[in-house]
Amino acid sequence: MGKKRPQASSKRRKDFGPPKKKGPCPICNTGIDYKDTATVRKYVSDRGKIRSRRVSGLCGACQREVARAVKNARELALIPYIAPGGKPTGRGGGRNR
């Protein structure tokens, strides 16, 4: 309990966590195509969710492109909306009434 916690005064403090951003993300070089499911899937989690930028390591612009590509691919049934052969866990969709 001796630790002092800095209050959230400023929105983003760069006190710790050295900026390790070096070079562009992989998509910057190659770009992403929603038809390229192999690539698109890489940025989708097991549950069919789009990986966050922190996980995927993409830059902002590419993250958007990827998200778009994923949604596009989903719409065309190139990739599943949810995990294949898996039940969505913890998702109480049914209305208990």
What is the rounded CA–CA span in Å between residue 47 and residue 44?
Answer: 8
Q: Does 32 bind Zn ion (CB under 5 A)?
A: no
Longest dimension (CA), the chain: 55
Q: Which is nearer to Zn ion, 33 or 75 (CB)?
A: 33
Shortest spacing between CB 7 and Zn ion, in angstroms: 34
Number of residues in contact with Zn ion, rule: CB under 5 A?
Answer: 5
Among residues 36, 51, 59, 71, the one that binds Zn ion under rule CB under 5 A: 59
Nearest distance from C-beta of residue 54 to Zn ion, angstroms: 14
Left (φ > 0), alpha (ψ -120 to 50) or beta: where does 85 sit?
Answer: left
> Which residues here bind Zn ion, judged by CB under 5 A?
25, 27-28, 59, 62
